[in-house]
Amino acid sequence: MMSDPSNEVPACPEAMFRLDDRVAIVTGASSGLGERFARVLRASGASVVIAARRLERLKALAAESRTMLAVQCDISVPDDVDRLVRTTVDQFGRIDIVVNNAGINDPVLLAEDESRDEFRRVIEVNLVGTFDVARLAARHMRQAGRGSVINIASMLGLVASSPIHQSGYCASKGALVNLTRELAVQLASSGVRVNAIAPGYFGSEMTGELAADERSATFVRRNAPMGRFGAPGELDGALLFLASDASTYCTGQTLVIDGGWTAR
């Protein structure tokens, strides 16, 4: 009797993580985790369109490889998002992977001291802008019958940030976690997967001041069961799992990479 091919172990298991001939978009790629994500996807074989507001930084990153293309984009501006998606399709013919990494945080203030405009700005970028990128890219993915959208949420979409007060950031990332579920269910039958990664405290441009302040750094070390910030490379595995064929039956999920913070 013939064996079921789905039960066979591939001769080279790591090959399922390869992204050869895939096309990826990474937003917020001018620094920090986004820059790392772009390099990891490229190293695994993908052509990568890198997007952010700071064009000079994008150009410097794109100069590292002929398979990177820099596109200036503020995801809170609809015309920018339209141009990002259109440029990707015009240049490469399709979109296989989207990493929605662009985001901002709000001033560290008590809620009663944070203005409505400040709160709205964080929601506009972290939630509405991310939705805009995902929905436009998903149109092309649906036509192709496959694709992977990876939203970069945060563990602070699952738990409160206090005593570091960030009402807008927590609200936006919590909403992004559930938006990921809803988009995943809407797109599941078309072969498009939507998942999220929720990092804990990682060293990046956004958390630079936090890491540099000894009192804040002590707070992180005391509350993370692993006793430290995450290193950038510790998100590589989650990224490649969700971007590649290693996760073809995974959708609507949020992978929390936080050193055990939310396990308490």
Q: pLDDT tens across 14-56, in order?
A: 888 999 999 999 999 999 999 999 999 999 999 999 999 999 9
Q: Is residue 105 part of a domain?
A: yes
Do residues 32 and 50 touch, judged by C-beta distance below 8 A?
Answer: no
Q: Domain range for residue 124?
A: 20-202+234-257
CATH number for the domain that contains residue 195: 3.40.50.720
Tell me, yes or no, whether 214 lies in a domain.
Answer: no
**pLDDT tens for residues 186-205?**
999 999 999 999 999 997 66
Residue 38: inside a domain, yes or no? yes
Query: Residue 72 domain-assigned?
Result: yes
Please report which confidence band the pLDDT of residue 3 belongs to, taking 50, 70 and 90 as the band edges: very low
Question: Shortest CA distance to 37 belongs to which of 173, 192, 183, 204?
Answer: 204
CA 22, 145, 35, 82 dihedral sign is positive
**Does 189 fall in a domain?**
yes
The confidence score (pLDDT) of residue 92 equals: 98
Domain-embedded: residue 210: no
Please answer whether residues 121 and 131 qualify as being in contact, where contact means their C-beta atoms are separated by less than 8 angstroms: no
String of DSSP letters for 227-255: -SPBPGGGGHHHHHHHHSGGGTT--S-EE
Q: Into how many domains does the chain fold?
A: 1
Provide the terminal-to-terminal Cα distance of the chain, rounded to the nearest Å: 49
Tell me how far the alpha carbon of residue 255 is from its chain's centroid: 11
Amino acid letter, residue 180 = T
Residue 220 counted as domain residue: no
Task: Enumerate the active-site residues.
Answer: 169
pTM score over 0.85: yes
The answer to whether position 80 is within a domain reads yes
**Per mean pLDDT, which range of 42-46, 189-193, 228-232, 258-262 is the poorest?**
228-232
